[in-house]
Amino acid sequence: MKQSITTIKRNAIIFAILSTLCGWVGYVVDKVTGQALYDNIGTEIGSGSLGMLIWLVTPLICTIFLRSFGGDGWKEAGFSINFKDNKKLYLISFLVYPLVTMIVILLGLMTQGIIVTDVKVEFTVYLGILLTQIGTQFIKNIFEESV
């Protein structure tokens, strides 16, 4: 389906406005419900809030609605995986996140930006925590990066 320039502009404007507003709506929801303590929200276990969920999921929902009802269509949505021709790129994209995470942790340890306490924990426990975190991030990033 060939899209008109007007439809493309309209949908881009709708998406930009909604994506910007959802962050502020999420912030207000957190403030009104008393959920927001943003000092250490990324490091506390179970510290997600309703506002964060609104901010994270709304752009994907908007994309689904615009593709379904706004004239964007699904043909050019980029869902064709095509592993055969892009094996190297898929491997690189799969390894980038864990590699960058390890580099940041190592640099943080070397510059003492990250301080590890004297708690004695085996390497396998750390590895399990890291793999769990990576798996969680992959699932979360489907919502965050798919739009």
The full set of domain ranges for the chain reads 1-80, 83-141
Report yes or no: 19 and 62 within 8 Å, Cβ to Cβ. yes
CA distances from 107 to 54, 56, 91, 110 (A): 33, 29, 24, 5
Q: Is the pLDDT of residue 42 over 70?
A: no
pLDDT tens figures, 63-78: 888 888 887 777 777 6
Percent of the chain with pLDDT over 70: 84
Note the pTM of the prediction, 2 decimals: 0.56
pLDDT tens digits, residue range 109-127?
Answer: 899 888 777 777 787 887 8
Contact indicator for 7, 71 with CB cutoff of 8 Å: yes
Q: Is 52 exposed, middle or buried (0-12, 13-18, 19+ CB in 10 A)?
A: buried
